Amino acid sequence: MSQTRVKPMVEGGVLTAISIIFALISAYLPLLGAFVNLIWPVPIILLGARHGSKWSIMATVAAGLLIAMLMHPLHAVGVVVGFGLIGIVLGHAFRAGYRPVRAMMAGSVASLISKVAVLGIGALIMGVNPMNIQAEALTQAVSQSIDIYRSLGMKEEELEKLGATMQDMIGVIKIILPAGFAAAAVVDTYLNFIIAKAVMKKLGHTIEPFPPFKHWNMPWVVLAAFLSAILMVYWGQTREISLLFEIGMNVQVLSSMFLLLQGLALIFFFAEKYRLSKLARILILVLILSNGFLSQLLIFVGAVDIAIDYRRLRKIGVD
């Protein structure tokens, strides 16, 4: 057997074993396991980046079979289906030399597909829509909260108002759940990208990093999506088109998140320009993120920055 084939086989065995250990940790160590579960794709990414997608796919399948035998088939589905595709796609992106933004987009799409697949398999096996289970859990949490406040002596009139407010919040959460899944896909892809890039650097591989945060610049499509979402929400409400309203709400949530990042990048740009101390930057960040009005204001600032390109990033090709 050739040396070129032995090396990926050995590394594949080691990295598959690590992925199985990650799965065991995620199942039996609740606090640490939640984090380890998110970075489960890292060994798969490393294998794909170093030796190609064929090896990362084989390792993912092998890990899934072994996890199913050692633990439970449903756990294997949750881990492998939920995170395996991210590892395969990001591994290919690293090996093919994708730029960070393109790699993130590919990984985020893969992550979202995986989450939808897990929900679909869960619905097929349990015969119940997992989204409805989440909604019922939220409703139950509201009832328990009301009971706690009642036991503390809160008046029934106040409890009714509180209950109505909480139910309205649950209604909004139900509507924007798809946006929540999409945002989670971006977050766990970014986390895996950063960790895998750091490990690859230790192994002697150079992966193109993201530009400094102060130079982050969202594309025009984010601003267009935000403005379109406002119109969809308005038309959906005024013309009582629920589907249009729900789509608009989800698009607005996602685009607002990217506009908030744009605004924060502008804040970091000014902090660097005027040489603010780290303490001052942290205080500003905490103040913005803990104040709803300031967060909304920063979303508007981000939208304006995309429109006028204050930092002149498009001229120097920073994205």
Q: What are the per-10-residue average pLDDT scores of the chain (319 residues)?
A: 64 84 81 82 91 89 88 82 91 91 92 88 72 70 78 77 79 85 91 92 85 89 94 90 91 94 92 88 87 90 90 64
Q: What is the dihedral of CA 112, 113, 117, 120, to 10 degrees?
A: 70
| Total number of domains constituting the chain | 3
Q: What is the CA radius of gyration of the chain?
A: 23
Q: Is residue 115 located within the same domain as residue 251? A: no
Residue 129: strand, helix, or coil: coil
Q: What is the DSSP letter of 152?
A: T
Residues 160 and 191 placed together within one structural domain of the fold: no
Quick one: 109 and 167 in the same domain?
no
Residue 88 lies in a domain: yes
Query: Using CA atoms, how far apart are residues 245 and 32, in angstroms rounded to an integer?
Result: 39
pLDDT at position 1 is 42
Same domain for 136 and 159, yes or no, is yes
Does residue 171 sit in the same domain as residue 302? no
User: Does residue 237 lie within any of the structural domains?
Assistant: yes
Angle at CA of residue 250, ends 185 and 40, nearest 5°: 10
Q: Is residue 68 part of a domain?
A: yes
- Is 14 among the domain residues? yes
In terms of domains, do 102 and 145 share one?
no
152 and 44 within one domain: no
Which pLDDT score is estimated for 6?
67
Q: Are residues 141 and 119 in the same domain?
A: no
Amino acid 128: pLDDT = 63
In this structure, what CATH number is given to the domain that contains residue 37?
1.10.1760
Q: Which two tokens stand for residue 204?
A: 């002697």
Residue 219 near residue 319, CB atoms below 8 Å: yes
How far apart CA 12 and CA 55 sit, in angstroms, is 7
Domain co-membership, 289 together with 243: yes
Domain that holds residue 289: 211-308
24 in a domain, yes or no? Answer: yes
Q: CA dist 301 to 263, 266, 286, 310, Å?
A: 6, 9, 17, 11
In terms of domains, do 82 and 161 share one? no
Q: What is the pLDDT of residue 306?
A: 92
Total-model pTM: 0.83
Amino acid identity, position 266: L
Q: Do 277 and 292 have their domain in common?
A: yes
